[in-house]
């Protein structure tokens, strides 16, 4: 084996060992082997190595790859990064160092991964060459999504104190009202982080900054965990707001966990989309968002979508359009499906237009059309427990609006310990329509609100 031959030339001293492999190593890159793989020492400590939660080697036992950093925002190191990911695949680690910037200016296919760590302490920053990225990206039919790169494979950890920077300002400035759900929109903007066909993904400690569009999107993925993440998308141009910069989105995902995370964006904070199951959210803080939402689902004609088994606990939602929300599409050519077994518990909401809302007239359709073509998404077994705070008063005294579609079943909806006040007056009102059974609190039909 090539590796063994190389090891013979490695000096037997403590500290890292730098090797020059026989194939081309990019300028400024290095590969260092862990202590434990060196001869002699390895024989002593071979048997009882500790493993990570997936049974793979710990950081200290991994081969470490570094690459040169960028000299400026146009100094593209994407080839070096791709080289490093290939070198680190199957048990290694890529380290992007603190205080250094790594600029990505080319689309990257990272779907070949198997047991790899990326320790990101520096900044990974995308170029803002809109022309390049609109011609070179990975495209998904679902809401016409594009992305800079795709992460896929198995056992992928990305962690550290660093930043992934989408450099979104230029994208927002050029946006001029081209919402992603606008059927005429051709101005596609990339998603900052996307997994596809991945199993076991862990992202920890990072700052995900200024995404041009959605911040994260997980597709066909199983077991993905985000912990201790900070997401923001803040414009320096008052006339171009960072639209559609959702914190977390998903499609065909089983096992989605977000914990100890803060999100400061102008769209959904957390919003699993079709076919997301086994969701856990705990200790989440959202500011200025469209809320923690189940959906939207039921968008595409004839397609069945579902979301089930979600536990959402200890969430703070400030200054938003929505708080705890469920959303499903209605209209002449939409899909169907269900949202089932969802719990919102200990949710603190302040200054929010719709603190609790079930919206089955998504997206942008009027009452007449919604009544003529009601949503066919069933909503069952949804708990809202201990929800407190204030609305913005925009909806008058209404602090919770649960208007179910006449075209679907709504049952097992349970509210308990709700204390949301409205600056528009008291008592606050809870609206309920078309729900089977008692919802646990006093409520009035929409026509009386």
Binding site for ligand NAG (CB under 6 A): 153-154, 173, 176, 197, 237, 239-240, 252, 264, 274-275, 283, 285, 287-288, 303-305, 309-311, 314, 316, 319, 336-338, 341, 343, 366, 368-369, 378, 388, 408-409, 419, 421
Nearer to ligand NAG, 34 or 247 (CB): 247
Structural contact between residues 346 and 377, judged by C-beta atoms closer than 8 angstroms: no
Exposure of 118 by Cβ count < 10 A (0-12 exposed, 13-18 middle, 19+ buried)? buried
Q: Cβ of residue 366: shortest distance to ligand NAG, in angstroms?
A: 4
State how far the alpha carbon of 73 is from the alpha carbons of 80, 85, 195, 292, 320, in Å: 15, 21, 25, 34, 34
By beta-carbon proximity to ligand NAG, the closer residue of 77 and 194 is 194
What letter would DSSP give residue 56?
P
Residue 340 a catalytic site member:
no
348 is catalytic: no
Q: Minimal distance in Å, beta carbon 84 to ligand NAG? A: 20
- 28 Cα distance to chain centroid: 33
Tell the smallest beta-carbon distance from residue 53 to ligand NAG (Å): 19
Nearer of residues 153 and 160 to ligand NAG, judged by Cβ: 153
User: Pick the catalytic residue: 232, 267, 340, 353?
Assistant: 267
Query: Please, which residue, 69 or 289, has the CB nearer to ligand NAG?
Result: 289
Minimal distance, residue 107 CB to ligand NAG, in Å: 17
Judged by beta carbon, residue 121 or residue 142, the one nearer ligand NAG is: 142
Distance CA 404, CA 375 (A): 9
Q: How far is the CB of 22 from ligand NAG (least distance, A)?
A: 29
Inter-CA distances, 37 with 47, 68, 391, 431, Å: 12, 25, 59, 65
Strand (E) or helix (H) holding 84: helix 78-88
CA distance 344 to 281: 9
Residue 135: phi and psi, rounded to 5, are: -95, -20
- Quick one: 185 or 421, whose CB is closer to ligand NAG? 421
Phi, psi dihedral angles at 83 (to 5 degrees): -60, -45
Quick check: 268 and 233 in contact, CB under 8 A?
no
Shortest distance, position 304 Cβ to ligand NAG, whole Å: 5
Dist. CA 46–CA 246, nearest whole Å: 46
Candidates 115, 210, 268, 290; catalytic one: 290
Rounded Cα distance between 272 and 439, Å, is 24
Task: Report, as residue numbers or ranges, the catalytic residues.
Answer: 267, 290
């Amino acid at each position: 084996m090539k590796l063994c031959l190389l090891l013979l030339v490695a000096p037997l001293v403590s500290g890292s060992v730098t090797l020059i492999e026989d194939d081309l190593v990019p300028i400024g890159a290095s590969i260092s082997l862990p202590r434990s793989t060196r001869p002699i020492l390895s024989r002593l400590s071979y048997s009882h190595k500790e493993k990570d939660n997936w049974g793979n080697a710990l950081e200290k036992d991994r081969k470490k790859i570094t690459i040169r950093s960028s000299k400026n925002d146009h100094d593209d190191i994407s080839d070096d990064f791709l080289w490093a990911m290939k070198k680190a695949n199957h048990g290694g680690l890529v380290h992007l160092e603190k205080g250094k910037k790594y600029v990505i200016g080319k689309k990257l296919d990272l779907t070949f991964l198997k047991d790899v760590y990326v320790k990101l302490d520096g900044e990974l920053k995308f170029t803002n060459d809109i022309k390049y990225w609109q011609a070179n990206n990975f495209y998904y039919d679902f809401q016409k999504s594009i992305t800079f790169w795709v992460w896929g494979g198995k056992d992928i950890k990305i962690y550290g104190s660093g930043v992934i920077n989408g450099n979104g300002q230029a994208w927002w400035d050029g946006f001029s009202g081209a919402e992603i759900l606008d059927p005429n929109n051709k101005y596609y903007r990339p998603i900052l982080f996307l997994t596809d066909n991945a199993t076991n993904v862990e992202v920890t400690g990072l700052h995900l900054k200024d995404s041009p569009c959605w911040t994260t999107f997980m597709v066909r993925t199983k077991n993905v965990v985000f912990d201790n993440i900070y997401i923001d998308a803040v414009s320096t141009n008052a006339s171009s707001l960072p639209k559609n910069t959702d914190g977390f989105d998903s499609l065909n995902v089983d096992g989605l966990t977000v914990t100890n995370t803060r999100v400061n964006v102008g769209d959904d904070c957390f919003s699993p989309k079709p076919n997301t199951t086994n969701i856990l959210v705990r200790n989440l803080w959202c500011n200025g968002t469209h809320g923690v939402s189940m959906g939207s689902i039921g968008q595409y004609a004839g397609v069945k979508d579902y979301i089930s088994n979600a536990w959402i606990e200890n969430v703070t939602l400030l200054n938003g359009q929505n708080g705890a929300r469920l959303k499903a599409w209605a209209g002449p050519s939409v899909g169907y499906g269900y949202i089932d077994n969802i719990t919102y518990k200990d949710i603190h909401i302040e200054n929010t237009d719709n603190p609790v809302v079930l919206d089955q007239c998504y997206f942008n359709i009027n009452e007449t059309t919604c009544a003529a073509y009601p949503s066919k998404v069933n909503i069952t077994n949804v708990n809202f427990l201990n929800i407190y705070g204030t609305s913005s008063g925009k909806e008058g005294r209404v602090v919770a609006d649960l208007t179910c579609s006449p075209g679907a079943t709504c049952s097992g909806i349970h509210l308990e310990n709700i204390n949301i006040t409205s600056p528009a007056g008291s008592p606050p009102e809870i609206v309920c329509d078309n729900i089977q059974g008692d919802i646990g609190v006093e409520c009035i039909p929409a026509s009386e609100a």
